[in-house]
Structure 1
Amino acid sequence: MRPACTATVVVDDDRVRVTRFDFAPGAETGWHRHGHDYVIVAVSDCPMLLEEPGGGVRRVLVPAGTAYRRAQGVEHNVVNDGAAAMSFVEVEVKG
Protein backbone atom coordinates (compact mmCIF):
# COMPACT_ATOMS: atom_id res chain seq x y z
CA MET A 1 0.00 0.00 0.00
CA ARG A 2 1.37 3.40 -0.98
CA PRO A 3 1.08 6.58 1.09
CA ALA A 4 -1.47 9.15 -0.08
CA CYS A 5 -0.44 12.48 -1.51
CA THR A 6 -1.64 15.70 0.09
CA ALA A 7 -4.32 17.65 -1.78
CA THR A 8 -4.88 21.26 -0.70
CA VAL A 9 -7.80 23.14 -2.27
CA VAL A 10 -6.73 26.73 -2.92
CA VAL A 11 -9.79 28.05 -4.80
CA ASP A 12 -13.22 26.46 -5.23
CA ASP A 13 -15.99 28.56 -6.73
CA ASP A 14 -18.65 28.21 -9.41
CA ARG A 15 -16.09 28.50 -12.27
CA VAL A 16 -12.89 26.69 -11.16
CA ARG A 17 -11.37 24.45 -8.52
CA VAL A 18 -7.62 24.89 -7.95
CA THR A 19 -5.85 22.19 -5.95
CA ARG A 20 -2.18 21.80 -5.06
CA PHE A 21 -0.97 18.19 -4.90
CA ASP A 22 2.18 17.32 -2.94
CA PHE A 23 3.69 13.85 -3.16
CA ALA A 24 6.41 12.20 -1.11
CA PRO A 25 8.39 9.65 -3.14
CA GLY A 26 6.06 6.73 -3.89
CA ALA A 27 2.89 8.57 -2.82
CA GLU A 28 -0.28 8.33 -4.93
CA THR A 29 -3.55 10.13 -5.58
CA GLY A 30 -5.62 6.96 -5.50
CA TRP A 31 -7.90 5.97 -8.36
CA HIS A 32 -10.14 8.79 -9.55
CA ARG A 33 -12.15 9.96 -12.57
CA HIS A 34 -11.98 13.63 -13.52
CA GLY A 35 -15.40 15.26 -13.55
CA HIS A 36 -14.19 18.38 -15.37
CA ASP A 37 -11.67 19.41 -18.01
CA TYR A 38 -8.44 20.27 -16.22
CA VAL A 39 -4.96 21.76 -16.52
CA ILE A 40 -1.91 20.60 -14.55
CA VAL A 41 1.01 23.00 -13.89
CA ALA A 42 4.16 21.34 -12.51
CA VAL A 43 5.67 23.17 -9.53
CA SER A 44 8.62 20.73 -9.42
CA ASP A 45 9.82 18.12 -11.88
CA CYS A 46 7.09 15.46 -11.78
CA PRO A 47 8.19 11.94 -12.73
CA MET A 48 4.77 10.25 -12.80
CA LEU A 49 3.69 6.65 -12.96
CA LEU A 50 0.16 6.70 -14.39
CA GLU A 51 -1.91 3.59 -13.71
CA GLU A 52 -4.81 3.36 -16.15
CA PRO A 53 -7.97 1.25 -16.43
CA GLY A 54 -7.43 -2.24 -17.76
CA GLY A 55 -3.97 -2.55 -16.22
CA GLY A 56 -2.19 -0.01 -18.41
CA VAL A 57 0.82 1.80 -16.97
CA ARG A 58 2.68 4.82 -18.39
CA ARG A 59 5.69 6.73 -17.11
CA VAL A 60 5.92 10.42 -17.95
CA LEU A 61 8.08 13.33 -16.84
CA VAL A 62 6.37 16.71 -16.54
CA PRO A 63 9.19 19.26 -16.10
CA ALA A 64 8.84 22.05 -13.54
CA GLY A 65 7.06 25.09 -14.96
CA THR A 66 5.32 23.22 -17.77
CA ALA A 67 1.63 22.45 -18.16
CA TYR A 68 -0.74 20.08 -19.93
CA ARG A 69 -4.52 19.75 -20.21
CA ARG A 70 -6.88 16.81 -20.34
CA ALA A 71 -10.58 16.38 -20.95
CA GLN A 72 -13.27 15.40 -18.48
CA GLY A 73 -13.58 11.65 -17.94
CA VAL A 74 -9.90 10.72 -17.57
CA GLU A 75 -9.55 7.92 -15.02
CA HIS A 76 -6.23 7.00 -13.43
CA ASN A 77 -4.02 6.76 -10.36
CA VAL A 78 -1.02 9.12 -10.28
CA VAL A 79 2.10 7.96 -8.41
CA ASN A 80 5.32 9.87 -7.71
CA ASP A 81 7.79 7.64 -9.56
CA GLY A 82 10.86 9.63 -8.45
CA ALA A 83 13.24 9.70 -5.50
CA ALA A 84 12.35 13.30 -4.50
CA ALA A 85 9.12 15.03 -3.51
CA MET A 86 6.99 16.36 -6.39
CA SER A 87 4.21 18.95 -6.58
CA PHE A 88 1.75 20.22 -9.15
CA VAL A 89 -1.26 22.51 -9.26
CA GLU A 90 -4.45 21.28 -10.91
CA VAL A 91 -7.04 23.72 -12.26
CA GLU A 92 -10.44 22.15 -12.98
CA VAL A 93 -12.71 24.13 -15.27
CA LYS A 94 -16.34 23.91 -14.17
CA GLY A 95 -19.10 24.44 -16.71
Structure 2
Amino acid sequence: MCSNTPSGSAKGTVLIENDKTRVTEWRFFKRGDNTGWHRHEYDYVVVPLFDGTLEIDNGNGERVRAPMQNGVPYFRELGVEHDVMNGNTFECAFIEIEFLNR
Protein backbone atom coordinates (compact mmCIF):
# COMPACT_ATOMS: atom_id res chain seq x y z
CA MET A 1 0.00 0.00 0.00
CA CYS A 2 2.48 2.57 1.02
CA SER A 3 5.89 3.79 2.06
CA ASN A 4 4.78 4.10 5.70
CA THR A 5 3.32 1.20 7.64
CA PRO A 6 -0.26 2.21 8.36
CA SER A 7 -1.07 2.34 12.05
CA GLY A 8 -4.83 2.78 11.83
CA SER A 9 -7.68 0.69 13.16
CA ALA A 10 -8.89 -0.64 9.78
CA LYS A 11 -7.80 -4.19 8.94
CA GLY A 12 -5.85 -4.79 5.73
CA THR A 13 -5.77 -8.36 4.42
CA VAL A 14 -3.60 -9.16 1.41
CA LEU A 15 -5.60 -11.51 -0.84
CA ILE A 16 -3.20 -11.76 -3.81
CA GLU A 17 0.44 -10.73 -4.19
CA ASN A 18 2.75 -11.52 -7.05
CA ASP A 19 5.38 -9.62 -9.05
CA LYS A 20 2.73 -7.59 -10.94
CA THR A 21 -0.19 -7.02 -8.58
CA ARG A 22 -1.15 -6.79 -4.92
CA VAL A 23 -4.83 -7.04 -3.95
CA THR A 24 -5.79 -6.03 -0.41
CA GLU A 25 -9.15 -5.95 1.32
CA TRP A 26 -9.46 -3.00 3.72
CA ARG A 27 -12.19 -3.50 6.33
CA PHE A 28 -13.51 -0.75 8.61
CA PHE A 29 -15.54 -2.18 11.49
CA LYS A 30 -17.05 1.04 12.84
CA ARG A 31 -17.33 4.76 12.10
CA GLY A 32 -13.96 6.46 12.44
CA ASP A 33 -11.85 3.36 11.80
CA ASN A 34 -8.94 4.42 9.60
CA THR A 35 -6.07 3.13 7.50
CA GLY A 36 -3.48 5.38 9.14
CA TRP A 37 -1.48 8.06 7.34
CA HIS A 38 0.32 6.64 4.28
CA ARG A 39 1.77 7.39 0.84
CA HIS A 40 1.08 5.11 -2.12
CA GLU A 41 4.17 3.77 -3.90
CA TYR A 42 2.20 2.40 -6.87
CA ASP A 43 -0.74 3.33 -9.10
CA TYR A 44 -3.87 1.67 -7.74
CA VAL A 45 -7.58 1.04 -8.18
CA VAL A 46 -10.12 0.92 -5.34
CA VAL A 47 -13.36 -1.07 -5.64
CA PRO A 48 -15.85 -0.22 -2.87
CA LEU A 49 -17.86 -3.12 -1.44
CA PHE A 50 -20.60 -0.84 -0.06
CA ASP A 51 -22.76 2.18 -0.76
CA GLY A 52 -21.81 5.02 1.57
CA THR A 53 -19.04 7.47 2.37
CA LEU A 54 -15.36 7.46 3.16
CA GLU A 55 -13.71 10.46 4.79
CA ILE A 56 -10.28 11.39 3.47
CA ASP A 57 -7.68 13.42 5.36
CA ASN A 58 -5.26 14.81 2.76
CA GLY A 59 -3.13 16.54 5.38
CA ASN A 60 -4.48 20.04 4.73
CA GLY A 61 -6.55 20.19 7.92
CA GLU A 62 -9.83 19.24 6.25
CA ARG A 63 -11.65 15.94 5.83
CA VAL A 64 -13.16 15.38 2.41
CA ARG A 65 -16.28 13.22 2.19
CA ALA A 66 -16.01 10.81 -0.73
CA PRO A 67 -19.22 9.05 -1.79
CA MET A 68 -18.75 5.37 -2.67
CA GLN A 69 -20.95 3.12 -4.77
CA ASN A 70 -20.73 -0.65 -4.44
CA GLY A 71 -18.65 -2.10 -7.28
CA VAL A 72 -17.83 1.25 -8.93
CA PRO A 73 -14.01 1.52 -9.07
CA TYR A 74 -11.77 4.57 -9.09
CA PHE A 75 -8.10 5.00 -10.05
CA ARG A 76 -5.32 6.97 -8.34
CA GLU A 77 -1.68 7.48 -9.29
CA LEU A 78 1.28 6.74 -7.05
CA GLY A 79 2.32 9.39 -4.57
CA VAL A 80 -1.11 9.98 -3.04
CA GLU A 81 -0.79 10.73 0.71
CA HIS A 82 -3.80 10.41 2.97
CA ASP A 83 -5.61 8.74 5.85
CA VAL A 84 -8.89 7.04 4.92
CA MET A 85 -11.71 6.80 7.50
CA ASN A 86 -15.08 5.09 7.66
CA GLY A 87 -17.67 7.87 7.42
CA ASN A 88 -20.61 5.49 7.95
CA THR A 89 -22.47 4.10 10.95
CA PHE A 90 -21.95 0.58 9.58
CA GLU A 91 -19.06 -1.74 8.77
CA CYS A 92 -17.65 -1.25 5.28
CA ALA A 93 -14.80 -2.49 3.10
CA PHE A 94 -13.05 -1.94 -0.20
CA ILE A 95 -10.64 -3.83 -2.40
CA GLU A 96 -7.40 -2.06 -3.30
CA ILE A 97 -5.54 -3.29 -6.41
CA GLU A 98 -1.96 -2.05 -6.74
CA PHE A 99 0.02 -2.27 -9.99
CA LEU A 100 3.51 -3.15 -8.78
CA ASN A 101 6.52 -1.82 -10.65
CA ARG A 102 8.97 -4.58 -9.75
Q: Which TM bucket (shorter chain)?
A: over 0.9
Report the secondary structure of 1:54's partner residue: coil
Q: What is aligned with 2:85?
A: 79
Q: Is the 8 A contact 1:42 1:87 kept in 2?
A: yes
Residue in structure 2 matching 1:35, options 30, 37, 41: 41
Given residue 9 of structure 2, which amino acid in structure 1 is its aligned partner?
A
Instruction: Quickly say closer, same or farther: Cα 1:52–1:89, change in 2 above 3 A.
Output: same
Note if contact 1:46-1:80 (Cα within 8 Å) is conserved in structure 2: no
Query: What percentage of residue pairs aligned between the two structures are identical?
Result: 35
Report the Cα offset of residue 55 of structure 1: 1.7
Q: CA deviation at 1:46?
A: 4.0
Query: Partner residue of 1:5?
Result: 10
Alignment map for 1:1-95 (pairs within 5 Å): 4-25=9-30, 26-95=32-101
Q: Which runs of 5+ in 1 are unaligned?
A: none
Q: Distance in 2 between matches of 1:93 and 1:43?
A: 20
The count of residues paired between Structure 1 and Structure 2 equals 93
How well do the aligned residues superpose, as a CA RMSD in angstroms?
1.1
Q: Tell me the distance in 2 between the aligned counterparts of 1:47 and 1:28.
A: 13
> What TM-score results when the alignment is normalised by the length of structure 2?
0.86
SS in structure 1 at match of 2:47:
strand
More strand by share: 1
Runs of 4+ with deviation above 4 angstroms: none
